[in-house]
Amino acid sequence: MPSPSHHAAEDPRHTRQAWSVLIVSTLAFTVCFMVWMMFGVIGIPIKKMLNLNATEFGLLTAMPVLTGSLVRVPLGIWTDKYGGRIVMAVLLALTVPAIWVMGYATQYWHFLVIGLFVGLAGGAFSVGTPYVARWFPKNRQGTAMGVYGAGNSGAAVNKFVAPVILVAFGWQAVPHVYAAIMLGTLVLFWVFSYSDPSHLVPSNVKFTDQLKALKDPKVLKYCQYYSIVFGGYVALALWMVQYYVGEYGLDIRVAALLAACFSLPGGVLRAIGGVLSDKYGAHSVTWWVMWVSWICLFLLSYPQTEFTVATVDGTRTFGIGLNVYAFTALMFVLGIAWAFGKASVFKYISDEYPENIGAISGIVGLAGGLGGFVLPIMFGALLDLTGVRSSAFMLMYGVVWVSLIWMYFTEVRRTELMGPHATAAGQRA
């Protein structure tokens, strides 16, 4: 029986279906991500309404990310077993009522509970990744997953759409509009997507067998990489609007527009990251991504500083810090780097785990998502503790250091740091 890759390469009908699947899946993921990031904008008037501190605001924005992360492993496994079309359609349908009800919430716990259900939308990634990848030959899977992953740009779409609705009709109108958009997306997806039984993982593969991948040191390493390039992206996408409002005193619409300078390239350019990963390899792209991240985060970490110097004419006060233009430029570069990194991490997975993409992408996606859950809370806690807004970037800078060291020893020097041969490998190095 010919492989799916063979079909994709030779059958024009199969190729047309593959591109149709890719387009509507990317649309669905974009809308899901837009909904997932909703609190990044509407959370600001909610914070004011409920008089929340930075930690409480961080928890509010992070709640949808928690469920969107936790469901990624089972959704990836179910996609392998039942097919991406049916799993994605059910997921979209489940989120619609939760999004709608959000507009009627009045208390802090209401938002937290409803946010958990809205967060199901974030699980779309681990459905679409294996669903899309299996429609394309191996040498184009990086590109296909990169195009699909460009749905991350939903974070930027949210920043364009939500402030306009919020200012015109109030924050309550945003979830109502988003629920209608999600319903329309569900219809389009169902009409223009397809199923291929040959893409299903054989039924004799058990859940427990698939979850054994958690014991693989390489999977854990990819989890750590992804917690930066995706978890960090999600966290900063949620955090940036209020950062601009607080740090630079900007109007919410201007703040959202500038924050989109990070979110938009961080999503759209993921497709280019897929192409680069296919051409140069996952390691080369990821290595450069980490170094660019390290430089950007080092500069972003520097807080607004004033110091007084004794001069011949008396004392003079100097100020050092990033103005809004330099800050936005660095965030733009960081967004591009992370876009490439998100694609390159999944190129690792498609190269090394071709028969188990769904389960592995679900596990790695879970790690990335949990990074997006934990980081906003830590950003808020650090802000409440230190009063320094750039402490968020100081934290991210430290996390990038971990990845660089891990990558150096396991990929540059080829030293096994974890697993049964770790000690011997370390001695040889």
What's the number of domains the chain is made of? 1
Structure tokens at 270: 């993921």
Of 287, 393, 281, 411, nearest in space to 348 by CA: 281
Q: What is the pLDDT at residue 3?
A: 45
- Which range of 92-96, 244-248, 424-428 scores highest in mean pLDDT? It is 92-96
**pLDDT grade for 288, boundaries at 50, 70 and 90:** very high
Q: Could you tell me which residues come within 8 angstroms of residue 96 by beta carbon, excluding any fewer than 6 positions away?
A: 179, 182, 183, 186
Read off the pLDDT of residues 202-243 as tens digits, 9 standing for 90 and up. Answer: 655 566 665 677 778 888 888 889 999 989 988 998 899 999
Residue with tokens 């930690």: 55
Taking the model in full, what pTM does it have?
Answer: 0.80
CATH number, domain with residue 103: 1.20.1250.20
Give me the mean pLDDT over the 319-335 stretch.
92
List Cα–Cα distances, 134 to 23, 86, 139, 151, 355, in angstroms.
14, 15, 12, 18, 10
CB 77 within 8 A of CB 358: yes
Read off the pLDDT of residues 200-213 as tens digits, 9 standing for 90 and up. Answer: 776 555 666 656 77
What does pLDDT average to over the chain? 85
Q: Which residues partner with 310 through β-bridges? A: 315
How far is it, in rounded angstroms, from Cα 222 to Cα 231? 12
Looking at per-residue pLDDT, the higher value among 318 and 30 belongs to 30
Q: What is the pLDDT at residue 7?
A: 45
pLDDT(191) > 80:
yes
Q: What is the pLDDT at residue 210?
A: 58
Q: What is the pLDDT at residue 180?
A: 96
Give me the mean pLDDT over the 32-61 stretch.
92
How far is it, in rounded angstroms, from Cα 281 to Cα 142? 10
How far is it, in rounded angstroms, from Cα 275 to Cα 207? 32
What single DSSP character describes residue 353?
A: -
Residues spanned by the domain of 58: 4-428
Least confident of 11-15, 118-122, 419-423: 419-423
Q: What is the pLDDT at residue 203?
A: 53
Share of the chain above pLDDT 90, in %: 46
**pLDDT grade for 134, boundaries at 50, 70 and 90:** confident
pLDDT(79) > 80:
yes
Residue with tokens 């001069």: 311
Give me the mean pLDDT over the 6-28 stretch.
78
